Structure 1
Amino acid sequence: MSPKRSNTGLVSNFFSAVRPSTKEGRLAPPNNKYSKAFSSSSPFLATTSLLGKVAIVTGSSRSIGASVAKCLGEHGANVVVNYVNDAKAADEVVQAIRSQGKGGAIAVKANAATMEGSQFLLDEAIRTFGHLDILVLNAGIMGSRPLAEVDESFYDSHFDTNVKAPLFMAKAAAPLLSSPGGRIIFFSSSLTTASTILPNSLCYLATKGAIEQISRVLAKDLGSRGITVNTISPGPVDTPLFREGKPHNVIEAIAKQNPSRRLGEPDDIAPLVGFLASQAAQWINGQNIRVNGAFVV
């Protein structure tokens, strides 16, 4: 497997590529103004700066969520770092964001798989930072059972955590999000369109298929207020959640299905979240963007 790469380097390269240049060839400075009456004929400088924005990232004490939180903080956002059990890991993410000297951060213990936990996260964001601009619904579970082993409890846990909780958190957040300019970003999986799926992925992929449809419909619903709703669908990413229950040879076989012959890393996913959260992505709405290195094409 390839060595881990610097999150800062990846993010900087990505945003340098998409940020417009000045006539002198230098990168244009961040512009945090948002045109409420934007049209194709309006003078408008697209920007990826998140200075002054407030973001909640569920399940952000480790793995993809932690990389996303750091990415948003690097570009100026104030981030609510959510955790359930690992306070130390969450505090490390908070300190990493604060040390960049751009965005602020707080750690909030809450179970985002419950209605109460979701509401508490929203309340803490408003109490601490005064408003909300970005909601990243990253938290989820990934159980593996074929049909013969699926019981009601297993089914309910997946749909409660992966579908019900993010849907109702989005509902509760909608009135709080800045309008226009609010962002809701769901997470699905590239496996929803892959032919190389295993029988034990039944419940997990069913929930991700539901999320993709929820995202499409909410984009139509909330788009009238200038709030975009998109889904990011990573391929296999090297996280503890992905590795759980998989023998080494299975993980190696999955990695070899990618032309780069490796698994994705959390830092491969975070820059796209940062872009979708920004003003530059205001015309991207209702989309499902697969980030998998050509694992699925």
Structure 2
Amino acid sequence: MATTPQQLNASTESLPLQDRVAIVTGSSRGIGRQLALHLSSLGAKLVINYSSSNSSPADSLAADINAGSLPPRAIVVRADISDQAQVQSLFDSAERAFDSPVHILVNTAGVLDSTYPSVANTTIESFDHVFAVNAREYWYYWASLQKRGGGGRIILFSSSQVAALRPGFAAYTAAKAAVEAMTKILAKELKGTGITANCVAPGPIATELFFGGRTEEQVKKIIDESPLGRLGETKDVAPLVGFLASDAGEWVNGQIIRINGGYV
């Protein structure tokens, strides 16, 4: 039976994030890519952010989201989120493209030192770079999210390493611990705005970032330590973020949610 225009309209209107503008940083690959696809499936308009010189993965993702959609529902914006001016440009680009304030910010951009140095062997350069990308975000831009269509949502990403406290991750874990602390404070400082701030802290997820610098033996050891006997996948994380971004997630605020299959 053919779908009627009325059924199509009803289906569109029922999407929980219909026409809300979402920025997903670091969304050209890994967890961020899956989150962008999932939020799009829930009706959101996407700003796909990347920082490298290679735009191909981000462009490909936007093409997938925009296939058969006029006007486009995804744009690509290059920006280094550790740079204040580029963060401002990211928000400005989103508002110009969609003629709307940003409703949802998901920050998945992150780096770690894939040599996994001890505290004593962590260089100043490595420490500063890890903190610049993972922790030195520009909170007052995020706090500018306006309550619209159910309220603003800030969803930051930490790591279950903050609970595991494993050697070789000192700078990375310290940066993510800072994100967790600031998330709780930010949620309180946003009182009265209708904006929520939460932090998602995945365990080992099968991404390029996870596999970097690890041997097959090390990967197998991590799998063996998981109660579910596998690495997490990006699709394991996406539904949680979709929930937090929706009206249904409004009462979850100022929380750190560890999603790791029982690894920690």
Structure 2 counterpart of 1:210, which letter? A
> What does residue 151 of structure 1 align with?
123
- Structure 2: unaligned runs, 5 residues or longer: 1-9
Aligned-pair Cα RMSD in Å: 1.9
> What does residue 3 of structure 2 align with?
none
> What does residue 76 of structure 1 align with?
43
> What does residue 177 of structure 1 align with?
146
> What does residue 75 of structure 2 align with?
106
Q: Are 2:116 and 1:116 equivalent residues in the alignment?
A: no
Would the aligned equivalents of 2:205 and 2:234 in 1 still touch at CA under 8 Å?
yes
Q: Pick from 213, 219, 226: which aligns with 1:258?
A: 226
Distance in 1, Cα, partners of 2:145 & 2:154: 12
Would the aligned equivalents of 2:15 and 2:43 in 1 still touch at CA under 8 Å?
no
> What does residue 95 of structure 2 align with?
126
Would the aligned equivalents of 2:146 and 2:193 in 1 still touch at CA under 8 Å?
no
Compared CA separation, residues 82 and 224, structure 1 to 2 (3 A): same
Would the aligned equivalents of 1:231 and 1:288 in 2 still touch at CA under 8 Å?
yes
- Measured after TM superposition, the shift of residue 31 of structure 1 is 9.4
- Measured after TM superposition, the shift of residue 124 of structure 1 is 0.4
- Structure 1: unaligned runs, 5 residues or longer: 1-28, 33-46
Would the aligned equivalents of 1:30 and 1:49 in 2 still touch at CA under 8 Å?
no
> What does residue 201 of structure 1 align with?
169
Deviations 1:23-51 (A, max 9, x none): xxxxxx7797xxxxxxxxxxxxxx86100
Would the aligned equivalents of 2:28 and 2:57 in 1 still touch at CA under 8 Å?
yes
Deviations 1:249-268 (A, max 9, x none): 00111011112211111111
How many residue pairs match? The answer is 249
Structure 1 counterpart of 2:45, which letter? N
Deviations 1:149-180 (A, max 9, x none): 11221211111111112xx1x31132243356
Alignment of 1:1-297 (within 5 A): 49-85=16-52, 86-99=54-67, 101=69, 104-129=73-98, 130-143=100-113, 144-165=116-137, 168=138, 170-178=139-147, 181-194=151-164, 197-296=165-264
Would the aligned equivalents of 1:177 and 1:183 in 2 still touch at CA under 8 Å?
no
Compared CA separation, residues 30 and 222, structure 1 to 2 (3 A): farther
Would the aligned equivalents of 1:59 and 1:112 in 2 still touch at CA under 8 Å?
no
Distance in 2, Cα, partners of 1:48 & 1:263: 30
Distance in 1, Cα, partners of 2:37 & 2:127: 33
Distance in 2, Cα, partners of 1:172 & 1:99: 31
TM-score using structure 2 length = 0.89
TM-score using structure 1 length = 0.79
Distance in 2, Cα, partners of 1:140 & 1:198: 18
- Measured after TM superposition, the shift of residue 216 of structure 1 is 0.4
Structure 2 counterpart of 1:264, which letter? G
Distance in 1, Cα, partners of 2:204 & 2:80: 25
Distance in 1, Cα, partners of 2:15 & 2:190: 22
Distance in 2, Cα, partners of 1:61 & 1:247: 25
Structure 1 counterpart of 2:203, which letter? G
> What does residue 6 of structure 2 align with?
none
Identity %: 40
Compared CA separation, residues 160 and 52, structure 1 to 2 (3 A): same
Deviations 1:219-273 (A, max 9, x none): 1111321100000000000111111111110011101111221111111111111
